[in-house]
Structure 1
Amino acid sequence: MTTTQVSIIASFSRESGELELHLRSHLCGASESSELWVGSKTEKYMLVSPDSYYNDALRERRNSGNMVATWDKKEHVILVGQVWSPSVPVPPSSVILVASAIEAEVSVT
């Protein structure tokens, strides 16, 4: 099992007045995001690269919302959002409210 750290940054946009969530990982490239998934029963996380969706079976599971956890084939996972490289900045018009980090398993197909 390989894990990686995902930074979670909550910010407030002065322009839109909205709260924003930014997910960052060093495993992600500047021009292509990965996806963060959370267990439906546990507080475990899974990072899936878009390269994984070249696998037809996994792409079908992802599109139908039937993704399975890497830690337990009986547990499904729910999409949290896109994870980008730390080099993708938080917009300058936003104020960072809080930053934290989690460990996520790296899904390898």
Structure 2
Amino acid sequence: MQLIRFYLTQTRRHHGVLLYEWLLKQAHAQGASGATAFHALAGFGRHGWHEATFFELAGDVPVAVEVIASDEVVARLIAAITAEQLSLPYLQVPVALHTTGDADQSSQ
């Protein structure tokens, strides 16, 4: 299993669709069992500091799209992104996915 996290901005689009939505749909199409998009609250990077203030919420808030999937699914996802000629920074690390408690027990 691999964790792959893409870094982009909230308003970036690809073929008229918000890029984070496009990535989520691609992850699903390539066979990932789940993916999530996160807004950044605060941080810094190559474009300086940012904080999710009232004024920044109207601008380009950083977003991370995270997918945990098999090596094969991640490879297909990267291939699909590359075929679209998108340039996206990403983090990729091996992970072990576990669940606590008895999976057959309903939550109380």
Report the TM-score when normalising by structure 2.
0.31
Which structure would you say has the larger Rg? 2
Larger proportion of strand: 1
Q: TM-score normalised to the size of structure 1?
A: 0.31
